[in-house]
Homo-oligomer: A and B are copies of this chain.
Amino acid sequence: MVTLAPAAPTSTNPQRFLPTETPLALLDAGGHVVADAGLVMPSDDILLALHRKIVLGRRFDSQATALTKQGRLAVYPSARGQEAGEIGAVVALRPQDWLFPTYRDSMAVVARGVDPVEVLALLRGDWHCGYDPYGYRVAPQCTPLATNALHAVGLAHAARIKGEDTVALVMLGDGATSEGDTHEALNFAAVWKSPVVFFVQNNGYAISVPLSKQSAAPSLAHKGVGYGMPSMLIDGNDPAAVYAAVAQAVAAAAAGEGPTLIEAITYRIEAHTNADDATRYRDRGEVESWLARDPLTRLRQHLTGRGLLDEAAIAALDAEAETEAAALRQRMNVDTVQDPAELFRYVYAEQTPALGQQQQELARELAESEDQ
């Protein structure tokens, strides 16, 4: 066990907690390397891994949207356009680290290695969480906004108490930063110097509500100084920048330097979910302008420009993505049957007599209706 004295408040140099005024980027929209980026360019291997996972992730995402149209998913919140954040953050995690995703972050969860069918159990309506969080070090995808931030802090703090080298990364949206839980999580993490990375994907909207109605701050990353937490503002459509920022924050957390707040500026290309009609609150023009800042195009241009990737490799990767999507489609195209008895099995560690009785009542009912 390590000694866990709370960090003494320091009145020296608050500036060190402030983010830059413009988002840090390593690659510009054309895929060119940005000079003096203030971030460490990832290795070519990492860049290629990011590219690969983004292609696969995007294909997964569009497949999931397609599955809603076929009625195979109740609903799906797409992360299209946010692939740099979804993938970059996850690739920067080490195996022993934990991910605390939201409903939006299926792509990130898949990138972390969770079977996509298990991921989609929630949205298929089969069960609330389809995967084993311990198997992947991925918490269940979280719907009540910002609540997962506190879980991440607690898990990370426990790791420190236990002397484990584990960092927790929590994903949040711009809207979620308005919730009280975000504030409490940032504060606990800063006071405890917990190994946590707060990764805010500012995609400009909380459903229909634009950032201007969510915050009047110079940037969301400017919240960090109010907790004594170093903060970074980055281009969330630059996979290299996301990876570099998160890797740096993970390394700092692992080194005992405490938490970091990262705001990644990005954009949600699709509607909030397939059930949402985004034309009610934003212009097509706005979407177009963000399409021009596409994270995949940017990375691909950089990699092809440097000769690290060619048409053949891209075609092979696209084919692989198609194969995966086809497999997913096929596996999702079966009617699953849930056992109603499951409803009563996990409420408590041991079933209570009353729940046992309710389970029997239901079983009797079902048997009777089969008889008829």
Residues in A lying within 8 Å of B, measured CB to CB: 6-14, 17-18, 21-22, 178-184, 187, 190-191, 193, 211-220, 222-229
Copies of this chain held together in the complex: 2
Q: Are A7 and B228 in contact (CB under 8 A)?
A: no
Q: A9 contacts B211, CB within 8 Å?
A: yes
CA distance in complex: A82, B217 (Å): 31
Cβ A218 vs Cβ B214 within 8 A? no
Known: A12-B218, A183-B184. 6 other contacts (CB 8 A): A13-B218, A14-B21, A191-B216, A216-B229, A217-B225, A222-B225
The one of B13, B178, B212 in contact with A187, judged by C-beta atoms closer than 8 angstroms, is: B178
Residues of B within 8 A of A226 (CB): 217, 220, 222-226
CB distance from A55 to the nearest CB of B (A): 33
**Chain B residues whose CB sits within 8 angstroms of the CB of A11 once the complex forms:** 21-22, 218-219
Structural contact, B9 and A217, CB atoms closer than 8 A: yes
Docked complex Cα distance between A7 and B216 (Å): 6
A14 to B14, CA, bound (A): 13
In the bound complex, CA of A10 to CA of B217 (Å): 7
Interface centre among A216, A219, A220, A222 (most CB of B within 10 A): A216
In the bound complex, do residue A18 and residue B9 qualify as a contact, i.e. CB atoms below 8 Å apart? no
Q: How far is the CA of A222 from the CA of B211 in the complex (A)?
A: 22
B14 and A216 within 8 A (CB): no
**A228 to B, closest residue via Cβ:** B216
* A215–B187 CA distance with the chains assembled, in angstroms: 7
- Assembled-state Cα–Cα distance A95/B11 (Å): 37
State whether B191 touches A180 (Cβ < 8 A): no
Q: Which residues on the B side are within 8 Å of A220 (C-beta)?
A: 226
13 contacts across the A-B interface (CB closer than 8 A):
A7-B212, A7-B216, A11-B219, A12-B218, A14-B218, A17-B222, A18-B225, A179-B184, A187-B215, A191-B213, A217-B226, A218-B225, A225-B225
Question: What are the residues of chain B within 8 A of A212 when measuring CB–CB?
Answer: 6-9
For A223, the chain B residues whose CB sits under 8 A away are 223, 226-227
Q: Within the assembled complex, what's the spacing in Å between the Cα atoms of A56 and B63? A: 73
Report the Cα distance A21→B179, complex, angstroms: 28
Residues of B with C-beta under 8 A to A6: 212-213, 216
Please indicate the chain B residues that have their CB under 8 angstroms from the CB of A184 in the complex: 178-180, 183
Bound Cα distance A218, B10 (Å): 5
* Least CB distance, A257 to chain B, in whole angstroms: 12
Find chain B residues with CB under 8 A from A215 CB: 9, 187, 190-191, 227-228
